[in-house]
Structure 1
Amino acid sequence: MIQTDPDSFVQGILDGNRRMIAKTITLIESSLKEHQKIAFTVMEKILPRTGNSIRLGVTGVPGVGKSTFIENLGIFLADIGHKVAVLTVDPTSQRSGGSILGDKTRMEKLSAHGNAFIRPSPAGETLGGVAAKTREIMLICEAAGFDVILVETVGVGQSETSVASMVDFFLVLMISGAGDELQGIKKGVLELADGIAINKADGENLKEVEKTKGDLEMAMHLIRPESPTWSTPVLTCSSIVEDGTKNVWETVLDHHKKFKTSGEFQQRRKKQTLKWMWTLVEEGLKQRFKNNEKINEEIPVISRQVENEKISPSAAAEVLLSYL
């Protein structure tokens, strides 16, 4: 039974109470109307305490070592006194609706650290596998005093675009020696990147990594930078060496400083908040469409007419939408 007093959630968050943070996230993720109502009130009350973190998104094709990278970077940051929240988005099975929330077991060392908080979220039905509530969870963590938020994507489909639109720095992780270095990474993703890091730069791999770095730097010259302040750097890092990801963090800080000075940081955040609002409007409209009784009655009839080519798909869509 979830308690119904919003103030107890708010106080728990502001006190940095882990149990209450986890309970609030469960409340936020609930689809029950009464839970959503309490969640709205909690979010309104904590909003003035949010926005004071550096938000870093990490993506990359499966096998690139995202979890190991995040654990290495997270431990480095937590050790030097940062409070780190890791939000990972697990793909939900389309068939069973189940989701393997295994990140705490994948990041054992980090999850045991006193300055870290790890929260896996099932992706649910959200396009591209980014949890619908990741943004709200990010704000809860900020209000609880976490000053670095790491968001890991599943690295498929459009989840990259969604994560890029909610973070201050979007990092694309890559590895060398995988044949075509751009294989599996769409040009669009590289255009979104604030930084590219070639992981596993250790041992016998170093020569190969340097070659990949040169190839990627050439590829990045063909992409026009989004900001006059920043050209996307290609870095190398190792997630198995202590402080092997420190240079990536230094790049994030450099970007943060330059964007703060130029005013682009605030502009980016404002744009992201508006985009978030419209995403929620679209989600809400979809939900209302699905829950509309008249539409549900008409769908089988109109579907048959479309199948039998009695009515065009565009006209059928117009009819269904007119019931909203």
Structure 2
Amino acid sequence: AIDPSSQKSKGSILGDKNRMEKLSSNPDAFIRPSPSAGTLGGVTRKTRESVVLCEAAGYDVIIIETVGVGQSETAARSMVDFFLLLQLPVAGDELQGIKRGIMEMVDAIFINKSEGEMQRKAKLAEADIKNALHMMPPQPSGWIPQTGLCSALEKTGMDKVWDMVLEYEKAMKTSGWFEDNRRNQEIKRMEQSVMEILQSDFNKNEKVLSVLEQIRKDIYDSKISPYNAAQRLVDLFYR
């Protein structure tokens, strides 16, 4: 469960677990609240490692609840088998809030709060989303993204969500996409790890640290452009 963090302190209230009263007291469930700490993509730097740890501990179903994702934030997609988007009952022009980048990645979109007076609006929203999904390019997996209605308040629609996940798993394992996708995710994780290691080494490099404050001052005083400053630091790092 990823919680939004302060950009200043990187801290988080970690309220997601607090509102899962019944689930957090279930002996068969484990909830790990994590602050996003400024990481983009709806996840944290160590989300993937947390998933591996939970798998090693014997948990066969692992759900990543993101802090929310934007058009270019695709990190969550690269570490899950099934990507579900929960949407509020909005339709028409309000659907512009759903970024195309997310629509192209989802395996399913469910409209939550489909209850009481909101049911009609939820059905209209689902119809609009179905039309929008028809205009998206085909999924590389061959799966056709599904839609549905649910209500966390009335506890309805959850069985449909789970049945859809199982249907997806069966279809993707039959086609070979399931295993292929997981292996490609591992390759992507390797590439991300290389970037993280380089960033960490750069931040600790003594030659870089010795001139960093002066270069920051030069940028502030408009004596050097940010790009040239960055190139100078990188050259110093590799020297």
State how far apart, in whole Å, the 2-side matches of 1:287 and 1:263 are.
Answer: 37
State how far apart, in whole Å, the 2-side matches of 1:228 and 1:287 are.
Answer: 35
For 1:53-132, list aligned pairs within 5 A.
88-132=1-45
Partner of 1:303: 216
1:200-240 deviation line (CA, Å, top 9, x unaligned): 12222222111111111111111012236211111111212
- Determine if contact 1:171/1:196 at 8 Å carries over to the other structure: yes
The share of aligned pairs that are identical, in percent, is: 49
1:6-62 deviation line (CA, Å, top 9, x unaligned): xxxxxxxxxxxxxxxxxxxxxxxxxxxxxxxxxxxxxxxxxxxxxxxxxxxxxxxxx
Partner of 1:248: 161
Counting matched residue pairs gives 237
For 1:121-200, list aligned pairs within 5 A.
121-157=34-70, 160-177=73-90, 180-200=93-113
Which amino acid counterpart does residue 80 of structure 2 have in structure 1?
Answer: V
State how far apart, in whole Å, the 2-side matches of 1:131 and 1:310 are.
Answer: 36
The change in CA–CA distance for 1:280 and 1:190 in structure 2 (over 3 A counts) is same
For 1:313-324, list aligned pairs within 5 A.
313-324=226-237
More displaced, 92-101 or 168-177? 92-101
SS at match of 1:238: coil
User: TM-score scaled to structure 2, two decimals?
Assistant: 0.90
Specify every segment of 5 or more residues in structure 2 that has no aligned partner in the other structure, as ranges. none
State how far apart, in whole Å, the 2-side matches of 1:300 and 1:122 are.
Answer: 29
State how far apart, in whole Å, the 1-side matches of 2:65 and 2:173 are.
Answer: 24
Q: Which has the higher contact order (CA 8 A, sep 6+)?
A: 1
The change in CA–CA distance for 1:285 and 1:205 in structure 2 (over 3 A counts) is same
User: TM-score scaled to structure 1, two decimals?
Assistant: 0.68
More displaced, 198-207 or 122-131? 122-131
State how far apart, in whole Å, the 2-side matches of 1:95 and 1:157 are.
Answer: 21
The structure with the greater share of residues assigned to strand is 1
Alpha-carbon offset, residue 129 of structure 1: 4.9
The change in CA–CA distance for 1:155 and 1:194 in structure 2 (over 3 A counts) is same
SS at match of 2:2: strand
SS at match of 1:117: coil
- Determine if contact 1:130/1:159 at 8 Å carries over to the other structure: no
- Please give the root-mean-square deviation of Cα atoms over the aligned residues, in Å: 2.0
Alignment of 1:220 with 2:127, yes or no, is: no
Partner of 2:142: 229
